[in-house]
Amino acid sequence: MFNNPTYPLKPTFNAPKNRVVLWTLVALTVVVFAAVITLSASANPPNAAEVRIQGWVSQLQEDRLTAQRHNAQRELENAGEAAVPALMVALRSDNSVLRRNAADMLGFIASPRATAGLQYTLANDTMPSVRRNAAYALGELNSFAAIADLQRASVLDTNALVRQTSQDSLARVRSRIALSAGINELNLNAYAVAPSNADTLYAAAGRDMHVTYDGGKTWGTWNSTLPSLTDQLAVSPSNPLILYAAVDSLGMYKSVDGGRHWASINTGLNAAPGVRTVISAITIDPTDAERVLIATGVMLGTGNVEFVPTGIARSTDGGATWNLILASRQGQALTQMSLKGNQVYALAGQRVMVYRLD
């Protein structure tokens, strides 16, 4: 006869205990998170100087030069670098007066930290007055990074005042290049920045080529490398070591090693013997580095020498061959050109000439 054994019953459901543990962990997590936020807030208390700067920036919304705005501008200039972040934010404001005055203040402060914001404003702002102040400010910065932007604006901008201000800024940049490179400004014949690397800049003085690869901090020189005086320089958008030079009376030359050696590239230009050929402008297609355009002309006469423009020549093979594609339609030299799509914009005095390419 068998007796049924009895076993002590053990609990098989422990959810209440697990629930307590779970809620305890949640509560601890919340406490820790709140403590972190509290510590972060106490570690970064509101900065009184930043509050004051924001107050001064808000005064720039005044269209008229009131006493309050005048005082704010003076205080912002004194604040210098500390005011740059707030002014950069103001450049993106919906208030065009604030954007205009913020760009102006960045020119007075002249911090290179403002370069990118001012470049964007010059290229994209819808208000000419704002773009004009951005062009002015870029000319005040101790930086060469905006040269290409100013050159484009001096030709492509739809507003004459913006174009003129860009040209004025380029004149100031030219003076700083000469000073940085240790060149007498009167001897600086041409300069160009590499589109793919704004720290690479070339400056031609006499037959010497000066080059910096660090934005002007240090310079090197290739002595007597150019065949003659250089009127224009341009750097390939795809390779900062490829340069084009318009050499006085000798036509076009090209370097593929950063200006150390040069080779003549005049096939198709048909320069007549004894005639002083002048290349007054060079531009390279930013989307096709092999497509190069030049403005051509000749100097005629002996005592009273006169410049006669002949037109625009194009190369589609990096300068190996040239074809005259447009004959000149006006008597002024084209001093600067820029390509936009299938149109070339050329500066003749203060006028912008537009030519459609085939």
Predicted confidence pLDDT, tens digits, the chain (358 residues):
434 444 343 444 444 455 555 555 545 554 455 454 454 545 555 588 889 999 999 999 999 999 999 999 999 999 999 999 999 999 999 999 999 999 999 999 999 999 999 999 999 999 999 999 999 999 999 889 999 999 999 999 999 999 999 999 999 999 999 999 999 999 999 999 999 999 999 999 999 999 999 999 999 999 999 999 999 999 999 999 999 999 988 899 999 999 999 999 999 987 666 677 889 999 999 999 999 999 998 877 777 777 788 889 999 999 999 999 888 766 678 889 999 888 999 988 888 988 888 7
Q: Last residue of some domain: 119, 146, 173?
A: 173
Residue 356 contacts residue 329 (beta carbons within 8 Å): no
What pLDDT is recorded for position 74?
96
- Tell me, what's the pLDDT at 14? 47
User: Do residues 58 and 167 both lie within one domain?
Assistant: yes
Residue 75: predicted pLDDT: 96
Does 88 fall in a domain?
Answer: yes
pLDDT at 222 (0 to 100): 96
Q: Residue 6 has what DSSP assignment? A: -
Q: Determine the pLDDT at residue 330.
A: 62
- Residue 142: name the closest of 95, 179, 167 by CA: 179
Residue 186 domain-assigned (yes or no): no
Q: Do residues 58 and 169 share a domain?
A: yes
Phi and psi at 187, nearest 5°, equal -95, -5
Q: CB–CB of 162/152 below 8 Å?
A: no
Say how far residue 37 (Cα) sits from the centre of its chain. Answer: 41
CATH number at residue 159: 1.25.10.10
What does 145-191 look like in DSSP terms, one character per residue? TTHHHHHHHHHH-S-HHHHHHHHHHHHHHHHHHHHHHT--GGGEEEE
Is 29 a domain residue?
no
Residue 185 lies in a domain: no
Q: What pLDDT was estimated at residue 9? A: 39
Sign of CA dihedral 98, 103, 108, 109: positive
Burial of 239 (0-12, 13-18, 19+ CB in 10 A): middle
Domain closes at, from 150, 173, 196: 173
Residues 67-78 as b or e (16 or more Cβ within 10 Å = b)? eebeebbebbee
Q: Which residues pair with 295 in a beta bridge?
A: 281, 312
Last residue of a domain, one of 115, 150, 173: 173
How far apart, in Å, are the Cα atoms of 235 and each of 194, 196, 253, 282, 300? 5, 9, 12, 10, 30
In a domain, 84, yes or no: yes
Q: Give the integer Cα–Cα distance in Å for 99 and 57.
A: 10
Q: Establish if 44 belongs to a structural domain.
A: no
Per-residue pLDDT, 18: 52
> Which residues, other chains included, contact 289 with Cβ-Cβ below 8 Å and sequence gap of 6+?
236, 237, 238, 239, 242, 318
Residue 340 forms part of a structural domain: yes
- Please tell me whether residues 63 and 165 are part of one structural domain: yes
Closest CA to 144 of 119, 161, 120: 119
Same domain? 66 vs 166: yes
Q: What is the pTM of this model?
A: 0.82
Q: Name the residue range of residue 89's domain.
A: 53-173
Half-sphere exposure of 282 (CA within 13 A, CB side): 31
Q: How many domains does the chain have?
A: 2
Asked, for residue 133, whether it belongs to a domain, the answer is yes
The C-alpha atoms of residue 125 and residue 102 are separated, in whole angstroms, by: 13
3-class DSSP state for residue 336?
A: strand
